[in-house]
Chains A and B, each alone.
Chain A
Amino acid sequence: MNEQPLFFGPERNLYGVLSLPDEAVHRKDLPAVLLPSVSLHPHHVGAFRGWVTLARRLAALGYVSLRYDVGGTGESEAGTRAGTAIDCQLSENSAAMDLVERRTGVRRFVLIGLCASADAAHSITLREPRIVGTVMIDAYGYRTRGQVLRHYIPRLLRPYHWSKFLQRKLGPTEVLAERDVPPRSVAQQQLQIMMDRGVQMLFLYTGGASYYFNHHSQFREMFPELKYRGRIEVEFDPLASHLFEFSADRERMFANVIGWINARDWR
């Protein structure tokens, strides 16, 4: 494996590290993997250096990847062009794909996003035809009747949760960042457009998201009218924290993501 740190983009304001597999394992028919930085840990190495490990394991399997800082975070400067947040995300992602394409000839991509970056991955994938796969970790979600029952009933029965409830009311607690979530019907419509285009998707939810997503069957409850065509897989890891703080969490995430990518027929 060979890693190349570099600045890229029309303004050369974006920073990333390109991981190139050894020639012996490099397969040019595979898509390249894009790993934008995570909003709560804004550095291209990923939360707890998770993107570095993931990139290196993917390289060992023949995948090119680029982990990069979105504009204004990590080593990247904010771009000077005006536009909405999604305009910026699209142009930065496009610059990342142009770089990989220029350096390696790979023209198809799998975009991985965590938390707000997963929400961005949804918007980018909708508009960017070069993206053929996307992994959205703790992406948007919509509470369903099942989710609410699974969430609250066990809590009502356990004094521990009453005490935790009081502690939360009286002290600090972990809250995920505020997010701009599309209405459920819009998200469903957009997912259908992506799937009809042939995009393969993995939705991975952690226990850190259980306040809005707490069972893998919830996805079908959220989007009952979707025609899946085998293009969406959903995993729920109730033991993992939102940012995969513990190495065991990260190992399960790597296994889920790499297993999913490797099991797809990308030709």
Chain B
Amino acid sequence: MNPVQFGQKGTTLTGIYHSPRAAVARDASVLICSPIGQEYMRTHWTIRQLAIRLAEAGIHVLRFDYLGTGDSDGDMGDSTVEVWAENVQLALSELYELSGVREPTMVGVRLGAMISAVAGARGPIHAPRLVFWDPVVHGSEYLANLTQIHAYIVQVARLFPPISSDELVGFRYPHQLRREIEALDLTGLLAGLGSVQVDVLTTESRPEYARLLGVLENLQIKGDRVHVADPGTWDVPEKARIAMLADKTVKAVSSLVGGLAGDGAP
């Protein structure tokens, strides 16, 4: 594992590059697009385990923090989805510099799946394969879910009323960012992705996943559809502050990606 920093002074992004185990190194790379806010904290250990597994299987892996998140520069309150999508493009470029692999796979977790799709639709670097892990399908539902969890936290805290109205579960989502997220619709982005493979891995049964799969089918976008009974419990307020240890899901994603990534790489 090697820490990396890229981007410009003042907007520097920080990440961890996992070089592949030399004996089994392949011409394959994966960029992991993490969730944001408290879901970033919840999933950090799990995503790290996924990256280690993939690198063990011979794949170059980069995971990084968007601007205003983790160790990257800036504050989340000053960030926008557009900027995060640009960050993904920059990270793809960095991954190419590090690995030399031209056709990366992007694994997007929760809102990270949405951001990877926004970045994929924008270009210029093309990732021929996207893997959505419990993706946020509609930004409005995601915000409604966070609002419910936040209300629970306020109620449990009892004596600690929130002063700032732009917070959700410990992180700032100012008006502009909320408006951007609210307008996001993963199903609407799919047509703009061009020629891609989209794999979808879900851990819960939700109506929005069914809608997403339906749109993928209508658009004849190929890819694997995997369901793992290892619930992410994204809606459960009591779980919102507990680290997620999704071993079964990590195995499923690494099998999905590790078994196929790089097979078609130049």
Contacts and interface: CB of A to CB of B under 8 A. Distances in A.
A91 interface: no
Interface string B145-179: 00000000100111111111001001110000000
Interface string B64-104: 00000111000110000000000000000000000000000
Contact of A248 (B38, B71, B162, B241): B162
Given A41-B41, A75-B1, A52 B71 contact: yes
B3 interface: yes
Contacts of A245: 153, 157, 160, 170
B16 interface: yes
Contact of A43 (B44, B159, B241): B44
A238 B158 CA distance: 12
B171 A15 contact: no
A48 interface: yes
A3 B14 contact: yes
B26 interface: no
Interface residues of A, number: 35
B14 A239 contact: no
Interface residues of B, number: 33
A119 to B, nearest CB: 20
Contact of B159 (A45, A207, A243, A247): A207
B243 interface: yes
Contacts of B3: 5-7, 15
Contacts of A249: 160
B5 interface: yes
B230 interface: no
Nearest to A238: B159
A151 B14 CA distance: 45
A207 B45 CA distance: 29
A52 B76 CA distance: 12
A3 B11 CA distance: 12
Interface string A86-118: 000000000000000000000000000000000
Given A6-B3, A41-B41, A52-B71, A246 B164 contact: yes
Nearest to B69: A49
A79 interface: no
B160 A246 contact: yes
A246 B163 contact: yes
Interface string B218-249: 00000000000000000000100101000000
Interface string A197-209: 0000000000110
A154 to B, nearest CB: 11
B122 interface: no
B238 A172 contact: yes
Interface string A242-254: 0101111100000
Contacts of A5: 3, 5, 14, 71
Contact of B172 (A208, A238, A247): A247
Contacts of B21: none
B243 A248 contact: no
Query: Considering the complex of A and B, which 10 residue pairs feature the smallest CB-CB distances, nearest first?
Result: A5-B3, A248-B163, A48-B170, A246-B162, A241-B160, A247-B164, A245-B170, A241-B157, A17-B71, A5-B14
Interface of A: 3, 5-7, 15, 17, 40-45, 47-49, 52-53, 74-75, 164, 172-174, 207-208, 238-241, 243, 245-249
Given A207-B159, A246-B167, 13 more contacts: A3-B71, A6-B3, A43-B41, A47-B170, A48-B38, A49-B70, A172-B238, A173-B156, A241-B160, A245-B170, A246-B161, A247-B163, A248-B163
